[in-house]
Each structure stands twice: as structure tokens, then as C-alpha cells.
Amino acid sequence: MSKIEEELEFELALFEPTEYKVLLHNDDYSTMDFVVDVLINVFRKNINQAEEIMIAIHKSGRAVCGIYTFEIAETKVYQVKELAKSNGFPLLATMEEV
């Protein structure tokens, strides 16, 4: 058996990466306009999607903004934290395994 045939017989176990949903949480201080801006600039939502998600956050206390692999979700949470901090808002983003 040649080396190539041996390599072809070896099966790779490929798994889909674990996904995480990123959520924004309602608070009494972050403005609706700021939340919409975050949804557009961090989560790449269009204005209609951003407004729908913002209303869902306001009504339900939190809403999913996107589903990503761990590293991307972690980056999105960090970006929201930094944007909120630099704009003087307490907007909270968290991530949960799907």
C-alpha cells in the first residue's frame, strides 16, 4: 500500500464549530439611537433590522443580535463594551452557547 493510499484511508473527524448568540441587554440609560448605531456598525444590520432588534431589546429586556463562532462572538461583545464605554453608556452585550 502506498503512502497516498494510507492517507486516503485515514478519516478525518470534522465538527462544526460551536456557535454563540450575542445578546444586547436593555438598560435605562443607553439611547435608542445609540443601540441602533451599535447594531448597524458592530452587527452589520440594516436600519430596519436594527430598529426591530432595538424594539425587541426594549420590550423583552434583551435580544439576539447575531450568532457567531466563539472568537467572533467574543470580539463583538468586546466591541460593544468599548463603544458603550467611549460614549458614556452602560450598554451590555453577552454571549451564550446556542
Q: Which amino acid is at 36?
A: V
With a CB cutoff of 8 Å and minimum separation 6, the contacts of 60 are 26
**Residue 83, in any domain of the structure:** yes
Return the minimum-mean-pLDDT range out of 3-12, 46-55, 57-66, 69-78.
3-12
The pTM (predicted TM-score) of the whole model is 0.85
Q: Beta-carbon neighbour count of residue 38 at 10 Å? A: 26
Return the CATH number at 77.
Answer: 3.30.1390.10
**In a domain? residue 5:** no
Look at the chain and report how many structural domains it folds into.
1
Give mean pLDDT, residues 42-51: 98
For the segment 30-39, the average pLDDT, to the nearest whole number, is 98
Report whether 64 contacts 21 (CB < 8 A): yes
pLDDT at position 14 is 80
